[in-house]
């Protein structure tokens, strides 16, 4: 009997969680997922702001590692973890998806699932799986060298 009551309580708790709270366990990004990116750049984050349920900002590109993006990239970031991330000054490695990337099922890190596009279909979107660290990392982050090794293959 207590199993049934516990299941009901747990179900009600989960149902009340917002998207931002739904990740009970966050996963580190998987460097090989960078292969899904349309563009990868080293850039400075500028004009960062949260608008409704997503963030938007611009990237002033210092160097292009993949793709053919413009020198200034308008970006939207839909994943719930943007509110938790401190936008530090300095250069970041950022992996991006084109605005027209189709929405499909989210998958665990390292799978072939695609990603949620930005709500503003004129902006590129930060590559990030649900409940996983985003591909927007300070250039000194320990994962950057792993990502660069993947891009070199």
Q: What is the pLDDT of residues 39-77, one digit of tens each?
A: 999 999 988 888 777 788 899 999 999 999 999 999 988
* Residue that wins the pLDDT comparison between 42 and 19: 42
Are 72 and 123 a contacting pair, CB within 8 Å? no
What SS3 state is found at 20? Answer: helix
Residues in CB range of 48: below 8 A, 6 or more apart: 55, 56, 57, 87
- Whether the per-residue pLDDT at 150 is higher than 60: the answer is yes
Angle at 81 between CA 80 and CA 84, to 5 degrees: 130
- Per-residue model confidence (pLDDT) at position 65: 97
pLDDT of 10: 52
Mean of the pLDDT values across residues 140-152? 94
- Cα–Cα distance between 114 and 87 in angstroms, integer? 25
Average pLDDT in the chain? 76
- Is a pLDDT exceeding 80 seen at residue 125? yes
User: In degrees to the nearest 10, what's the CA dihedral of 76, 45, 142, 27?
Assistant: -20
Looking at 27-41, 85-99, 114-128, which range is the least confident one? 114-128
pLDDT over threshold 90, residue 88: no
pLDDT computed for residue 9 by the predictor: 47
Residue 113 predicted with pLDDT over 70: no
pTM for this model (two decimals): 0.76
- The three-state (H, E, C) secondary structure of 52-120, written as one string: CCEEEEEEEEEEEEECCCCCEEEEEECCHHHHHCCCCCCEEEEEEECCCCCCCCCCCCCCCCCCCCCCC
pLDDT at position 21 over 60: no
């Amino acid at each position: 009997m207590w199993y049934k009551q516990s299941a009901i309580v747990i179900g009600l708790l989960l149902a009340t969680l917002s998207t931002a709270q739904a990740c009970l366990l966050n996963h580190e990004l998987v460097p090989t997922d960078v292969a899904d990116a349309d563009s990868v750049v080293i850039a400075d984050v500028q004009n960062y702001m949260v608008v409704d349920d997503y963030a938007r900002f611009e990237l002033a590109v210092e160097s292009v590692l993949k793709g053919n993006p413009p020198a200034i990239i308008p970006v939207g970031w839909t994943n719930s973890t943007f509110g938790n991330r401190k936008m530090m000054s300095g250069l970041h490695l950022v992996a991006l998806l084109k605005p027209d990337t189709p929405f499909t099922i989210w998958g665990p890190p390292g799978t072939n699932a695609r990603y949620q596009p930005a709500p503003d279909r004129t902006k590129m979107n930060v590559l990030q799986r649900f409940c996983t660290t985003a591909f927007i990392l300070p250039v000194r982050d320990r994962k950057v060298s792993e990502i660069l090794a993947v891009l070199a293959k």
